[in-house]
Amino acid sequence: MKKIPLILDCDPGLDDAIALLFALASPEEIDLLGVTTVVGNGPVQQTQENARRICELAARPDIKVFQGCPRTLFAKLSSSTYSATDIHGETGLGDCKLPPPSMPLQPQHAVSFIIETLLNASEKITLAPSGSLTNIACALIMEPRIKEKIDKIVLMGGVIGLGNITPTAEYNFYCDPQATYVVFMSGVPIVMIGLDVTRQTQTSEEWLHTIEAMGTPVSQAIIDMLSYYHRPDAILEPGVTGGVLHDPNVIAYLLKPALYKGRHAYVEIDISSTIMAGRSTVDWHKKLSFQPNGYVINEVDTAGFFDLLTERLKRYTHVMKKDPTCSHS
């Protein structure tokens, strides 16, 4: 398999952290050119620090991490929107208290890095945003020529059915509806992996026991992160019994797209300031005359997803030079 040149745009976040570990454990398939961070599950200062913490946990301090946008395009949402401590904990990593990162934060802004990397690329690059689309939209606005260098955008966001932050919107799209609109109207090929899919990949106590049995520093850190989803006072959606591994689906799709089913459809993003903001209306049955602007996933082989994720996480057999100080609550 030819390596996928990839820029991972994220806002760690528990599930983002697992997605990053997933990607870092797949060097045969993924050429990770850089990790860009954005506001979303927490302030961008926190998300970039967490990205560096995870790279060090994976013994990959060579990965370049860039800090991106601290606010959304219109910056109309309250600062409280940029925090999901009820889901991810105060630090964004649940009960896992990894040491402060020692690897450097790159001085270049994430948006500039995305633009520069794409313009200078000799082959097309895949973008994998797992948070709000602010960085990606800013790059497209600032330098439209990059569209020709993007192979595709495989994103976690949106929903065909019910939302998770409002009745109709998924959190990433809700954080920056205008940026989401820009990306979907850009003409770049998009694969949308929304809540309809990710709700099918929930962690179970049995799977956590499998991870814990690996007995590595990485597996212990994963347990201390994901156990936060299983705490007695965890805030869960109806029908959800564990942690929903939203963002690792992006990496799983890149590695093994056969695990997923979907169809090409037109996706309209609501950019109003009403309770409908961030809603993704998917013309699933082609009732409208608009051309499809995304490949919308609606099914995943859940067992296959967890088999692939587990196999990759087993690769972390190294011992960290600096052990994390994680503890269960």
CA–CA dist 120, 5 (Å, integer): 13
pLDDT digits (tens, 9 = 90+) for 189-215: 999 999 999 999 999 999 999 999 999
Burial of 153 (0-12, 13-18, 19+ CB in 10 A): buried
The catalytic residue positions are: 246
Residues 6 or more apart in contact with residue 174 via CB below 8 angstroms: 163, 165, 166, 277, 278
CA–CA dist 166, 156 (Å, integer): 17
Of 68, 56, 15, nearest to 321 by C-alpha is 56
- pLDDT confidence of residue 322: 41
Q: Can you list the positions of beta strands (E) in 147-300?
A: 150-156, 190-193, 260-265, 267-269, 280-282, 294-300
- pLDDT confidence of residue 239: 81
- pLDDT confidence of residue 80: 45
CA–CA dist 30, 44 (Å, integer): 25
Q: Are the beta carbons of 32 and 63 closer than 8 angstroms?
A: yes
Q: Is 62 strand, coil or helix?
A: coil
CA–CA dist 125, 3 (Å, integer): 11
- pLDDT confidence of residue 74: 82
The encoded tokens of residue 177 equal 């509806």
CA 147 and chain centroid, separation: 21
* Residue 59 CB neighbour total at 10 angstroms: 15
- pLDDT confidence of residue 321: 38
Radius of gyration in angstroms for the set of CA atoms belonging to the chain, rounded to a whole number:
18
Q: Where are the domains of the chain?
A: 4-315
Q: Are the beta carbons of 177 and 281 closer than 8 angstroms?
A: no
CA–CA dist 5, 150 (Å, integer): 10
Of 170, 212, 220, 174, nearest to 195 by C-alpha is 170
Q: Are the beta carbons of 136 and 129 closer than 8 angstroms?
A: yes
CA–CA dist 288, 270 (Å, integer): 16
User: pLDDT 10s digit of each residue in the chain, 329 long?
Assistant: 799 999 999 999 999 999 999 999 999 999 999 999 999 899 999 999 999 999 999 999 999 999 999 998 986 555 545 667 778 888 889 999 899 999 999 999 999 999 999 999 999 999 999 999 999 999 999 999 999 999 999 999 999 999 999 999 999 999 999 999 999 999 999 999 999 999 999 999 999 999 999 999 999 999 999 998 888 777 778 888 889 999 999 999 999 999 999 999 999 999 988 899 999 999 999 999 999 999 999 999 999 999 999 999 999 986 443 444 454 43
CA–CA dist 57, 100 (Å, integer): 11
DSSP assignment of 45-74: HHHHHHHHHHHHHTT-TTS-EEE--SS-SS
CA–CA dist 253, 57 (Å, integer): 24
> In whole angstroms, how far apart are CA 119 and each of 26, 31, 186?
25, 17, 17
Q: Is 258 strand, coil or helix?
A: helix
Q: Are the beta carbons of 121 and 152 closer than 8 angstroms?
A: no
Longest dimension (CA), the chain: 58
CA–CA dist 126, 143 (Å, integer): 17
Burial of 321 (0-12, 13-18, 19+ CB in 10 A): exposed
What is the domain class of 4-315 according to CATH? alpha beta
